[in-house]
Structure 1
């Protein structure tokens, strides 16, 4: 998508928000990967989550996919809000913050060990906060 910015009396120049949004998604994904890597390598935390009777080891590819999917979903919601809401950045930030808080009560609580729970909380916070701050900055007004 593009937005226009121009001083009074000048022809508007279209500016794409795609570049900054892609950068935000990449940074959020890399920050998540870094959190996982530090927990796994530096602190020897095995990030294992339990769903029902099944235990799943959270590996780096899963962290990367989750970061990218979260970014794409956030981006899509922001695009929709830019078409419908008068203050899309504010509305998006509130919705994204609520989703982040709710995610802290689902995923991290499923960690098998304290280290896994702490790592999952940090993963959610790291990726979520980068996406919230980064994508909100790119919001265009209607």
Structure 2
């Protein structure tokens, strides 16, 4: 796999992005269904990297979230303001995903720094479908031991 293929998810518009990227699996990033990753924030104001610990179950939860968002987008449903924490809050840093207009990703780090960064994003149509498809390919590659 190429380095770009290690993106778990990327929320981005023209000016800002929040990504979750797996550490290089060839370098030992995966152990017994656990994955070491980084949350990467890029805005005109903040540029930061934060370690995060993921499990195969976390990846499945994110797939379910993205699939639900894709279905809502396909039905032309307006963003409902619902909130989802991923991965589960308080284990390590996590994302709070707010389905609003604009879509908001809050990066929360209650364990180490206590800092929260809020990133509003004007996501393009079809973003959730593309993100779900990318994550499905990554999960398949991980299951195959890429």
Give TM-score scaled by structure 1 length: 0.33
Larger-gyration structure (1/2): 1
**Whose RCO is larger (CA < 8 A, sep 6+)?**
1
What's the TM-score, normalizing by structure 2?
Answer: 0.32
Judging by fraction of residues, say which structure has more helix: 1
